[in-house]
Amino acid sequence: MFTHLHWHSTFSFLDAIGKPKHIVSRAKQLWMEAIAITDFNWMYGSINFYLTANEENIKPIIWVEIWFVLDVESVSNPKAIWNIVLIAKNNEWYHSLMELTSFANQEWIKNKPKIDISILKQKSDWLIAIIWWEDSFIWKMLTNWESEDRVVEVIRIIKDILWKENVYLEMIAQDENILNDTQKINHNILSFSKELWLDCVVNNNYFYPSQEEKAAREMALAIKDGNKMYESNRRKPKWAYHIMSQEEIENVMLANWYKDSQIQDWIFNNEKIAESINYEIKLWQYLFPNYETPEDIKNIYEENKDQLIQ
């Protein structure tokens, strides 16, 4: 059974439509056994999603789609700010994601939180990454006419940090005839996967649970952009961003002239990742940090403790 590994809920504020309970309900209608959450740059919806999915006996997979740069100290060009999808595979990985999002939201540039290679290295034992094309360095580099060698170089950096088995490239399940760059990027991703021996997954990156909610998402985008619904220049996404069934995913990619054997391999990799997820978020408990008192504070206390006690 197909598992979506890339999606956004209403917690991707004004970018997506759909509360976790509605998304889980849609997944249940499609007889899915697991589904993921990949909201932008933070994890505000993760507990709500985790509880809702468990109530419906659907495995919750918690990710984050986060803005990424090579070095937070030197990047000022918005074109060098990319995104990457990171997964929590177990409890330790879940905590690492929270630390990464906390770091990202202290390192803003051009209104975007971000992480970099150095923080990625610190958490390299606890992460799985999906590199997809829209807003990733693959898309931004290739559409700005940078060399494929440079793209491969960045993928290699991530691969060397996280290890081959923890890095996947994403094929986007959308009509390649609608946007000109789609076929080019999908084909480049296949080429990179062969050159670097990386597996591919497939997703349609949904932003609303069902097709009927497309108009609601367009309204949210208009509010975000400060546009009116009647304005001709407002954003009108042409792709199908609802939660697709496995059959829809297959049909879209077959229509793009990919082989059924390729598509089934990508779907299998989605399932392989979903099956590897195993964590339990412990709730309803007090958590306090392990704070080590600095030595100078200890000395001050020792010198004045008699007065403090009085």
Q: How far apart (Å, rounded) are the C-alpha atoms in residues 159 and 58?
A: 30
Domain count within the chain: 1
Range of the domain at 208: 20-284
Determine the pLDDT at residue 75: 61
Q: How far apart (Å, rounded) are the C-alpha atoms in residues 83 and 212?
A: 28
Residue 195 lies in a domain: yes
Residue 300 lies in a domain: no
Residue 233 lies in a domain: yes
User: What spatial distance separates the first Cα and last Cα of the chain, rounded to whole Å?
Assistant: 68
Residue 172 lies in a domain: yes
Q: How far apart (Å, rounded) are the C-alpha atoms in residues 98 and 95?
A: 5
Helix segments in 64-165, DSSP class H: 91-104, 117-122, 137-143, 148-162
Q: Give the CATH number of the domain where residue 25 resides.
A: 3.20.20.140
Determine the pLDDT at residue 309: 62
Q: What percent of the chain has pLDDT over 90?
A: 38
pLDDT (tens digit per residue) in 100-159: 788 777 766 666 677 777 887 777 666 788 887 677 777 777 777 778 888 898 889 888
Is the predicted pLDDT of residue 32 greater than 90, yes or no? yes
Residue 299 lies in a domain: no
Is the predicted pLDDT of residue 91 greater than 80, yes or no? no
Q: What percent of the chain has pLDDT over 70?
A: 90
Residue 6 lies in a domain: no
Is the predicted pLDDT of residue 298 greater than 90, yes or no? no
Is the predicted pLDDT of residue 310 greater than 80, yes or no? no
79 φ/ψ sector (left φ>0, alpha ψ -120 to 50, else beta) = alpha
**Residue 232 has what DSSP assignment?**
T
Residue 293 lies in a domain: no
Highest-scoring range by mean pLDDT, 52-56, 104-108, 237-241, 280-284 = 52-56
Residue 180 lies in a domain: yes
68 against 135, higher pLDDT? 68
Q: How much is the mean pLDDT over the chain?
A: 85
